[in-house]
Structure 1
């Protein structure tokens, strides 16, 4: 054996590589550009949350917590889910706090899925959902969904379901498309859950980012849905703490217990001082905070979408979240550097010093997104204005 040779890897690690979403950050830094690619949400953290974090550190709230999270935080999450989301969770035993909503997604996926199972994933999808599902050994069945104006197609999902299908993943509001599932669409999905004995995992991390009067509906709030639903959300996006890695899941107690034990095995617990800090989101911030957040993001959405339209992109304005998945068919016909998504990403980086994410990153067949780029507008307004000015200077006629 060659002592210099690397060890063999487990099959699950062989194909792992840095995601396009994260790799763009490195490339933007190389040109001292502005990153509209990764959804880092680099807005300031609300002062009450920072103050609670300082208090927790001063009080040495630093030992392991219960693997499902500290009791006060789980009770606060329960109250919020009952009142705001109308989810009929009866007890804190139905709540699991984890290492970001992605970490809780890992716990849910590994609790439910294994080799031989199948899971439905809608396209365009969030890449971490796809990659985590693949690690479970389950087979992914892809169902086209589309963008904000598209509607859930019951027949398309039924065509993908087999006797081995066990779960379906729903992201609403959706990354990258900005689609928000309607109450009617979710009601149709509930029927399918019962017809085919499925469990739904809903990622609702962008639940507060809504535009033009769009309503966010939690699947678990619908009649006969709670017992078949794992609801995921968290603090990263609404409270600008993406690096704190705090998320939560709400599910019937037998499922939540196993998710908590999986969370314990994988992570032990979420960072305890930050769990105490997160209580401020429920105790010190009110509806005015959310209203202001929505108004601020609406202003950013308008600036981003109008800029992209002005430079020649086809822009489906998102109904939720803080991304735009914009097309550039017209630009590819009229400008050099827009042959496909990889070329367009390079062109924006080199000519405007703006980082984006290739559309192909969100599809099973990357060619399906070859004429799309994803833009994130979760930036401080001066930075976003500068980014839009750079785009206009580089590409506006």
Structure 2
């Protein structure tokens, strides 16, 4: 007699993401991956040395479920000094398994079936998928790219008595939009009027261009009490595989997030928590200034190349992605009928991976003529990728 396992309803829609799928295809083609936001730059030596020392010192047992206290204190001081958050205690900080793991803890702490949550498009796919797992209903609101302005009316149009939360990603993946202080103030006013909570993903807070300013929503007057601020170490310090992120929120929320983190993950990897202390002890303003300068050069190289081969490129204000439009190319040459076709054409003709625009919208048609490119690559690799794009389509 055959036996068939009944898969839980929440797991049935899950499938390999377009990002991971194209990664495998370009690897088979021996190409360069500008799709997945892997960030293959080297980890700073002080952080690697601290990790090695932590392992040598046998920091190998479970930590406190919300993270080791020295790291939580260091994060507290950082968000006070750099983000202007009115947090006052390490109890308001939890360390989790990447900023995405912290997003999971926040979403499952706040949301349940019957709740509604606002998500701006284009969105980061993991945000959408995690929100769906909570059972909450997502209300999608178009926001657009770097030149777009937050439209309060569009949010008001989707609100119902069941709306509980809003998700803000700034600087944004995939669009590169950086929310202004004025936009966040308008959103906060609406949150206060409608009694909403915000989850802000600020993992790209140091990747800024052309004078853009990163502002944390929770720093605005009376915003902290209704905001969960998420960030981490993955992008800034090139440790995406270490899975270290953090959340900061008022004590009652942070406590439940920490307990949710305990239930789901037990704790973040302990030796790597000790290593992350080097980010505060040994990596100062000079590191961030150099990081911003280096990423500005990568952005220029990526965006100019895409423009030269026929893409319309809204240059990102932050993060390290370019969400580019190829509508004109679709009219001029074969292989660009839509985002899936264009993605495959780039793999086959230039050996370059990108991400389909449909990955970032509820309605796939909204991303029909868009591809996302990640420029968080070592410069020789990125230059080679741009040369391959120019050779194939220039």
Do these two structures clear the TM 0.5 threshold for a shared fold by scoring above it?
A: yes
**What is residue 84 of structure 1 aligned with on the other side?**
82
In structure 2, the residue matched to 1:335 is 333
- What residue in structure 2 maps to residue 369 of structure 1? 367
CA distance in 1, matches of 2:17, 2:277: 32
Separation in structure 2 between the aligned mates of residue 347 and residue 82 of structure 1, nearest angstrom: 47
* CA drift at 1:157: 0.3
Give the superposition deviation at 1:105. 0.2
**What's 2:212 paired with?**
214
Runs of 4+ in 1 over 6 A off after TM superposition: none
Q: Distance in 2 between matches of 1:286 and 1:174?
A: 24
- Counterpart of 2:246 in structure 1 is 248
Match of 1:182 among 180, 190, 193: 180
What CA distance in whole angstroms lies between the structure 2 residues aligned with 1:236 and 1:187? 28
CA distance in 2, matches of 1:54, 1:317: 39
Partner of 1:238: 236
Runs (5+) with no aligned partner, structure 2: none
CA-based RMSD: 0.5
* TM-score of the aligned structures, taking structure 1 as reference length: 0.99
Structure 1 stretch 21-30 or stretch 272-281: which is displaced more? 21-30
Q: Tell me by how many angstroms 1:25 deviates.
A: 1.2
Cα distance per residue 1:28-58 (max 9 Å; x no partner): 1100100000000000000000000000000
Instruction: Give the structure 2 partner of residue 32 of structure 1.
Output: 30
Q: 1: distance between equivalents of 2:114 and 2:225?
A: 23
Residue number in structure 1 paired with 2:110: 112
User: SS where residue 248 of structure 1 aligns?
Assistant: strand
Aligned length: 394
> What's the secondary structure of 1:200's corresponding residue?
strand
Q: Shift in Å at residue 22 of structure 1?
A: 1.6
Query: In the alignment, what sits opposite 2:2?
Result: 2
Structure 1 match to 2:278: 280
1:1-397 aligned within 5 A: 2-3=2-3, 5=4, 7-396=5-394
Pairwise CA distance, 1:15: 0.7
- Within 1, Cα distance between the matches of 2:223 and 2:337? 45
| Alpha-carbon distance between aligned partners in 1 of 2:25 and 2:221, rounded to the nearest angstrom | 47
Q: Spell out, residue by residue over 1:213-237, the C-alpha distance to the aligned partner (whole angstroms, 9 max, x if none).
A: 1000000000010000000000000
Separation in 1, partners of 2:137, 2:349: 41
Structure 1 position 23, deviation (Å): 1.6
d(CA) in 1 for partners of 2:159 and 2:202?
23
- The CA deviation at 1:2 is 1.7
Listed one character per residue, the Cα deviations across residues 276-317 of structure 1 (whole Å, up to 9, x for unaligned) are 000000001000000000000000000000000000000000
Q: Secondary structure at the match of 1:263?
A: helix
Distance, in Å, in 2 between the alignment partners of 1:305 and 1:155 is 32
